[in-house]
Amino acid sequence: MERKTKINAENGRQDLVITREFDLPLDLLFKAYVEPEIVEQWMSTKVVKLESKPHGAWAFETSDAGGNVVLRMNGVIHEFVPEQKITRTFQMENTPFPVQLEFLVFERLTDETSKLTMQIVYKSPEDREAALKLPFAAGINMAHNRLEQVVKQLI
Protein backbone atom coordinates (compact mmCIF):
# COMPACT_ATOMS: atom_id res chain seq x y z
CA MET A 1 0.00 0.00 0.00
CA GLU A 2 1.19 3.47 -0.80
CA ARG A 3 2.28 5.48 2.21
CA LYS A 4 0.30 8.67 1.88
CA THR A 5 1.47 10.21 5.13
CA LYS A 6 5.21 10.72 5.43
CA ILE A 7 7.24 11.52 8.54
CA ASN A 8 10.64 13.10 8.23
CA ALA A 9 12.46 12.93 11.57
CA GLU A 10 16.20 13.47 11.20
CA ASN A 11 18.44 12.11 13.91
CA GLY A 12 19.40 14.43 16.73
CA ARG A 13 17.00 17.21 15.75
CA GLN A 14 14.20 18.57 17.92
CA ASP A 15 11.65 18.87 15.15
CA LEU A 16 9.92 16.64 12.64
CA VAL A 17 7.87 17.18 9.49
CA ILE A 18 4.65 15.37 8.61
CA THR A 19 3.47 15.64 4.99
CA ARG A 20 0.29 14.40 3.41
CA GLU A 21 -1.37 14.87 0.04
CA PHE A 22 -5.17 14.81 0.01
CA ASP A 23 -7.70 14.00 -2.69
CA LEU A 24 -9.50 17.13 -1.59
CA PRO A 25 -9.62 20.69 -2.87
CA LEU A 26 -7.69 23.12 -0.66
CA ASP A 27 -10.80 24.81 0.75
CA LEU A 28 -12.20 21.50 2.02
CA LEU A 29 -8.90 20.47 3.59
CA PHE A 30 -8.70 23.80 5.39
CA LYS A 31 -12.33 23.58 6.51
CA ALA A 32 -11.52 20.29 8.25
CA TYR A 33 -9.21 22.28 10.52
CA VAL A 34 -11.62 25.10 11.25
CA GLU A 35 -15.13 23.66 11.70
CA PRO A 36 -15.35 22.28 15.27
CA GLU A 37 -17.87 19.53 14.35
CA ILE A 38 -15.56 18.28 11.60
CA VAL A 39 -12.44 18.44 13.79
CA GLU A 40 -14.30 16.37 16.40
CA GLN A 41 -14.99 13.63 13.86
CA TRP A 42 -11.53 13.07 12.45
CA MET A 43 -9.56 13.80 15.63
CA SER A 44 -11.96 11.62 17.69
CA THR A 45 -12.08 14.24 20.42
CA LYS A 46 -14.44 16.83 21.84
CA VAL A 47 -13.75 20.41 20.81
CA VAL A 48 -14.22 22.58 23.88
CA LYS A 49 -12.95 25.72 22.24
CA LEU A 50 -11.54 26.58 18.81
CA GLU A 51 -10.96 30.26 18.09
CA SER A 52 -9.54 30.22 14.58
CA LYS A 53 -7.92 33.64 14.53
CA PRO A 54 -4.60 35.22 15.50
CA HIS A 55 -4.18 34.97 19.31
CA GLY A 56 -7.18 32.65 19.54
CA ALA A 57 -7.22 29.75 21.99
CA TRP A 58 -8.17 26.13 21.47
CA ALA A 59 -8.96 23.23 23.81
CA PHE A 60 -9.84 19.59 23.11
CA GLU A 61 -11.03 16.90 25.51
CA THR A 62 -10.82 13.17 24.81
CA SER A 63 -12.93 10.67 26.77
CA ASP A 64 -12.83 6.89 27.05
CA ALA A 65 -15.78 4.59 26.29
CA GLY A 66 -17.16 5.18 29.80
CA GLY A 67 -17.26 8.94 29.30
CA ASN A 68 -14.32 9.70 31.59
CA VAL A 69 -12.02 12.43 30.33
CA VAL A 70 -8.64 10.81 29.69
CA LEU A 71 -6.82 13.62 27.95
CA ARG A 72 -7.07 17.39 27.78
CA MET A 73 -5.11 19.32 25.17
CA ASN A 74 -4.88 23.04 24.66
CA GLY A 75 -2.92 25.78 22.98
CA VAL A 76 -2.91 29.17 21.32
CA ILE A 77 -3.28 29.96 17.64
CA HIS A 78 -0.52 32.38 16.79
CA GLU A 79 -1.03 32.90 13.06
CA PHE A 80 -4.14 32.14 11.08
CA VAL A 81 -4.23 32.77 7.32
CA PRO A 82 -7.23 31.04 5.66
CA GLU A 83 -6.26 28.32 3.17
CA GLN A 84 -2.58 29.05 3.76
CA LYS A 85 -1.30 28.50 7.26
CA ILE A 86 -1.97 27.95 10.93
CA THR A 87 0.77 28.38 13.51
CA ARG A 88 -0.18 27.14 16.95
CA THR A 89 1.06 25.69 20.22
CA PHE A 90 0.00 22.28 21.52
CA GLN A 91 0.15 21.01 25.07
CA MET A 92 -1.23 17.95 26.82
CA GLU A 93 -2.48 18.85 30.29
CA ASN A 94 -1.22 16.95 33.35
CA THR A 95 1.60 15.26 31.49
CA PRO A 96 5.36 15.84 31.72
CA PHE A 97 5.45 16.69 27.99
CA PRO A 98 6.46 20.30 27.38
CA VAL A 99 4.48 22.51 25.00
CA GLN A 100 5.23 22.06 21.29
CA LEU A 101 5.07 24.51 18.40
CA GLU A 102 3.28 23.52 15.20
CA PHE A 103 3.55 25.12 11.77
CA LEU A 104 0.80 23.96 9.41
CA VAL A 105 1.11 24.94 5.75
CA PHE A 106 -1.77 24.25 3.37
CA GLU A 107 -1.14 24.19 -0.39
CA ARG A 108 -3.23 23.76 -3.50
CA LEU A 109 -1.84 21.08 -5.82
CA THR A 110 -4.65 20.90 -8.39
CA ASP A 111 -8.33 21.90 -8.29
CA GLU A 112 -9.07 18.57 -6.65
CA THR A 113 -5.94 17.88 -4.60
CA SER A 114 -4.05 19.63 -1.82
CA LYS A 115 -1.11 19.16 0.48
CA LEU A 116 -0.52 19.66 4.19
CA THR A 117 2.96 20.15 5.63
CA MET A 118 3.11 20.11 9.41
CA GLN A 119 6.35 20.92 11.19
CA ILE A 120 6.36 20.18 14.91
CA VAL A 121 9.10 21.73 17.07
CA TYR A 122 9.74 20.14 20.47
CA LYS A 123 11.59 21.61 23.45
CA SER A 124 14.54 19.25 22.98
CA PRO A 125 15.57 16.24 20.84
CA GLU A 126 14.77 14.03 23.87
CA ASP A 127 11.24 15.44 24.06
CA ARG A 128 10.79 14.68 20.37
CA GLU A 129 11.88 11.07 20.89
CA ALA A 130 9.47 10.72 23.81
CA ALA A 131 6.57 12.08 21.73
CA LEU A 132 7.45 9.82 18.80
CA LYS A 133 7.45 6.82 21.10
CA LEU A 134 3.99 7.54 22.57
CA PRO A 135 1.90 5.65 19.97
CA PHE A 136 4.55 2.91 19.95
CA ALA A 137 4.26 2.60 23.75
CA ALA A 138 0.45 2.77 23.59
CA GLY A 139 0.48 -0.08 21.09
CA ILE A 140 2.56 -2.18 23.47
CA ASN A 141 0.23 -1.29 26.37
CA MET A 142 -2.81 -2.28 24.33
CA ALA A 143 -1.24 -5.61 23.43
CA HIS A 144 -0.38 -6.06 27.09
CA ASN A 145 -3.93 -5.26 28.23
CA ARG A 146 -5.39 -7.69 25.72
CA LEU A 147 -3.01 -10.34 26.99
CA GLU A 148 -4.10 -9.57 30.55
CA GLN A 149 -7.77 -10.02 29.59
CA VAL A 150 -7.05 -13.35 27.94
CA VAL A 151 -5.13 -14.52 31.02
CA LYS A 152 -7.98 -13.39 33.31
CA GLN A 153 -10.44 -15.47 31.31
CA LEU A 154 -8.23 -18.51 31.67
CA ILE A 155 -8.11 -18.42 35.48
Partner 1 sequence: MNLRRDVFQAIADPTRRAILLLLASQSLTAGAIASNFDTARPTVSKHLQILTECELLNQEQTGREIYYHLNPKKMKEIADFIEPFRRMWDDRFNKLESIMKNYQSKK
C-alpha 69/C-alpha 65 separation (Å) is: 10
Q: Does 121 bind partner 1 (CB under 8 A)?
A: no
Query: Taking contact as CB under 8 A, which single stretch among the options 56-64, 71-79, 122-130, 145-153 is the one that binds partner 1?
Result: 122-130
Give min distance, CB of 75 to partner 1, in A.
17
Closer residue to partner 1 in complex, CB, 22/90: 22
Instruction: State how far the alpha carbon of 128 is from the alpha carbons of 22, 52, 94, 100, in Å.
Output: 26, 26, 18, 9
Could you say which residues in the range 1-20 bind partner 1, by CB under 8 A?
3-7, 9, 11-12, 18, 20
Q: How many CB atoms lie within 10 A of CB 92?
A: 19
Q: Which of 69, 81, 109, 134 binds partner 1 (CB under 8 A)?
A: 134
Nearer to partner 1, 41 or 63 (CB): 41
105: which residues sit within 8 A by CB, 6+ positions away? 84, 85, 116, 117, 118, 119
Taking CB under 8 A as the criterion, the residue among 14, 15, 17, 22 binding partner 1 is: 22
Q: Within positions 30 to 89, which residues make up the interface with partner 1, using CB under 8 A?
A: 31-32, 38, 41-44
Residue 11 and residue 18 in contact, taking contact as beta carbons nearer than 8 Å: no
Cβ-based neighbours of 9, under 8 Å, separated by 6 or more: 16, 17, 128, 132
- For 13, phi then psi, to 5°, come to -95, 165
Q: Where do contacts with partner 1 occur on this chain (CB under 8 A)?
A: 3-7, 9, 11-12, 18, 20, 22-25, 28-29, 31-32, 38, 41-44, 116, 125-126, 129, 132-136, 138-139
